[in-house]
């Protein structure tokens, strides 16, 4: 078995995207070649049916003209209506998984969780009176070693520390600036980062900006196209996104 034809490949930057099912592509990748597996997999909960009560959140940005775009305005994430099995990812030596509190019972014990503080000191009226069902933070399971860490990066509805004014392109979109921080902690320039559930490509963009090699896998072609477009933009100032 060999790797499929890349959907996108930038040889100079060492960035490759595959359009396909991660469960079929991962067995072909040599774990010893990967410095870090960092990804935001489907959590096994459906955005559209739970209407934001699952911890993913519903708010991000807006369309030009001010029309709000929430997670439920998108088709459900592929595979999010099924229990997620992280076992195929654990054959890689260094792993970091967003949303792992949703499948923590299938992961080895670890003291090295990362908490992404999405509020970063922000207090909203809805939250204060218990009407805000969006998560205040997201949990990242890692086997990187060391103590638990807290990383603040505000990402609450229209109030964000980065990507202000950008239109949301994925229901569970994460900030490129946050991915840069994580890559800076866990990798060095030239390292290979593997992202089996690429989505719209925030990790890909961060890897490109920081001189990391990258392999991304995404089963939905429309997100492969979005990620490829992001990678074709010029180098960005810190905290901004294409």
**Residue-level pLDDT at 152:** 96
On the 0-12 / 13-18 / 19+ scale of CB atoms within 10 A, 20 is middle
* Strands lying side by side in the sheet with 213-218: 8-10, 15-19, 213-218, 192-195, 36-39, 95-98, 137-142, 114-117, 149-152
**Residue-level pLDDT at 203:** 98
**Residue-level pLDDT at 55:** 45
Residue 215 lies in a domain: yes
Which is it for strands 15-19 and 159-160: parallel, antiparallel or unpaired? unpaired
**Residue-level pLDDT at 50:** 44
Q: How many domains does the structure of the chain reveal? A: 1
Residue 221 lies in a domain: yes
Torsion angles phi and psi, residue 114, rounded to 5: -115, 135
**Residue-level pLDDT at 73:** 62
Q: Nearest CA to 224 among 15, 55, 1?
A: 15
In the chain, which stretches have pLDDT less than 50? 47-67, 236-242
Residue 174, CA distances (Å) to 46, 57, 104, 194 in order: 17, 11, 20, 16
**Residue-level pLDDT at 85:** 94
Range of the domain at 105: 8-231
Cβ neighbour number for residue 189 with a 10 Å cutoff: 9
Query: Residues 216, 96, 84, 90: what is their CA dihedral angle, to the nearest 10 degrees?
Result: 90
Task: Check which CATH number belongs to the domain holding 106 and give it.
Answer: 3.40.50.150
Residue 91 lies in a domain: yes
**Residue-level pLDDT at 38:** 98
Residue 237 lies in a domain: no
- For residues 107 and 121, what is the distance between their CA atoms, to the nearest angstrom? 30
Residue 238 lies in a domain: no
Q: Nearest CA to 19 among 230, 192, 174, 197?
A: 197
How far separated are the first and last CA of the chain, in Å rounded? 35
Cβ neighbour number for residue 236 with a 10 Å cutoff: 18
Residue 51 lies in a domain: yes
Residue 236 lies in a domain: no
**Residue-level pLDDT at 230:** 92
Residue 157 lies in a domain: yes
Q: Nearest CA to 7 among 208, 201, 218, 232?
A: 218
**Residue-level pLDDT at 67:** 45
**Residue-level pLDDT at 64:** 42
């Amino acid at each position: 078995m060999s790797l499929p034809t890349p959907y996108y490949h930038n040889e100079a930057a060492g960035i490759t995207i595959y359009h396909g099912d991660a469960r079929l592509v991962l067995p072909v990748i040599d774990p010893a070649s990967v410095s870090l597996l960092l990804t935001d997999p489907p959590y096994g909960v459906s955005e559209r049916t739970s209407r934001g009560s699952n911890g993913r959140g519903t708010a991000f940005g807006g369309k030009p003209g001010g029309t709000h775009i929430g997670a439920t305005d998108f088709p459900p994430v592929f595979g999010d209506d099924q229990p997620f099995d992280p076992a195929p990812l654990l054959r890689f030596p260094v792993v970091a998984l967003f949303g792992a509190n949703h499948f923590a019972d299938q992961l080895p014990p670890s003291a090295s969780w990362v908490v992404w503080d999405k509020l970063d000191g922000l207090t909203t009226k809805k939250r204060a009176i218990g009407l805000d069902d969006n998560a205040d933070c997201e949990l990242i399971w890692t086997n990187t070693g060391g103590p638990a860490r807290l990383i603040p990066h505000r990402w609450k509805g229209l109030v964000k520390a980065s990507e202000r004014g950008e239109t949301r392109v994925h229901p569970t979109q994460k900030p490129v600036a946050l991915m840069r921080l994580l890559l800076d902690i866990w990798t060095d320039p030239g390292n290979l980062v593997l992202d089996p559930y690429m989505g719209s490509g925030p990790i890909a963009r961060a890897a490109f900006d920081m001189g990391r090699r990258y392999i991304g896998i995404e089963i939905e072609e429309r997100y492969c196209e979005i990620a490829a477009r992001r990678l074709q933009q010029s180098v960005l100032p810190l905290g901004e996104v294409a």
